[in-house]
């Protein structure tokens, strides 16, 4: 089961929000909320509120069936840039410099633990594949063949 929550037009630059978002991506909801509680960044509070909203959306989606919030993990967390507010700063000799006040659009998806297990299995399979390919490749130069 998946649930989505979106936050549009957050008046914090996407670069600053991504720094906080990278901390909780892929973690369980409880661990993510615990970590956000101690992050001293301005983007931590809106992200925590969005995460709680996604959990509430998951609870509403599973109204007929069994629901366990402890099994939810942050499946995806995307931070995109929204529209920029344009402001002008007066400068010397009658000039004006443009100041862009950037906004963020955040999209968060929470899902059950089953998705996390499948993702880890794919990563492991991909690592095994790349090792097998590296073992099969031939050296480009004769000197490399003698070293190995």
> How is residue 69 written in tokens?
């919030």
Neighbours of 77 (CB within 10 A): 25
In a domain, 141, yes or no: no
> How would you write the pLDDT of the chain (148 residues) with one tens digit per residue?
899 999 999 999 999 999 999 999 999 999 999 999 999 999 999 999 999 999 999 999 888 778 888 889 999 999 999 999 999 999 999 999 999 999 999 999 999 876 554 565 566 666 666 666 666 666 666 666 666 5
DSSP 7-47: EEEESS-HHHHHHHHHHHTTSBHHHHHHHHHT--STTHHHH
**C-alpha pair distances (Å), 73 with each of 14, 54, 115:** 22, 11, 9
**CATH number of the domain enclosing 89:** 3.90.470.10
Number of domains in the chain: 1
In a domain, 127, yes or no: no
- How much is the pTM? 0.74
In a domain, 123, yes or no: no
Residue-number span of the structural domain to which 78 is assigned: 2-113
Contact 26, 76 (CB under 8 A): no
C-alpha distance across the termini of the chain, in Å: 50
């Amino acid at each position: 089961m998946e649930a989505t929550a979106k936050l549009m037009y957050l008046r914090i630059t996407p670069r600053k929000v991504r720094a906080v978002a990278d901390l909780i991506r892929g973690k369980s909801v409880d661990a993510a909320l615990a970590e956000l509680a101690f992050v001293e960044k301005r983007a931590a509070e809106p992200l925590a509120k969005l995460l709680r909203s996604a959990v509430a959306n998951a609870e509403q989606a599973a109204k007929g069936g069994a629901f366990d919030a402890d099994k939810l993990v942050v499946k995806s967390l995307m931070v995109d840039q929204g529209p920029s507010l344009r402001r002008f700063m007066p400068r010397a000799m009658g000039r004006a410099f443009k100041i862009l006040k950037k906004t963020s659009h955040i999209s968060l998806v929470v899902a059950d633990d089953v998705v996390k297990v499948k993702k880890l299995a794919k990563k492991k399979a991909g690592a095994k594949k790349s090792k097998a390919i590296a073992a099969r490749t031939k050296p480009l130069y004769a000197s490399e063949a003698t070293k190995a």
